[in-house]
Amino acid sequence: PLSPEKAMVCFGSMFIELPKAKTREMLRQDQEELDEEINKLRKELRVKVNRLYEAQGKPELKGFNLNPMSAEEMKLINRILEG
């Protein structure tokens, strides 16, 4: 049985027992890096789609440059809607 301070983490095809605090920090860092990469790709996609539409002689897409709301913004909207 695992101790309460440890967590099993899968790296490739092996499981390693690490302290929970270290595991949580690793996951947080990985998530931040993934979020940055996703945002970078979204920005690049917008530029590429606009170039494609321009090359095809079509007008620029309206609303395509919108950004998703953050989790904090969603919480505030849900509070407003719930009353």
Q: Quick: pLDDT tens for 31-78.
A: 999 999 998 998 898 889 889 999 999 988 787 777 788 899 999 999
Give the largest Cα separation in the chain, rounded.
64
Q: How confident is the model at residue 1 (pLDDT cuts 50, 70, 90)?
A: low
Is the pLDDT assigned to residue 21 strictly greater than 90? Answer: yes
Instruction: Provide the token pair at 16.
Output: 């390693």
pLDDT at 73: 94
60 touches 48 (CB < 8 A):
no
pLDDT at 26: 94
**Number of Cβ within a 10 Å radius of residue 70:** 9
Is the pLDDT assigned to residue 2 strictly greater than 70? Answer: no
Domain chopping of the chain, boundaries:
1-62
Instruction: Provide the token pair at 17.
Output: 């027992």
41 touches 34 (CB < 8 A):
no
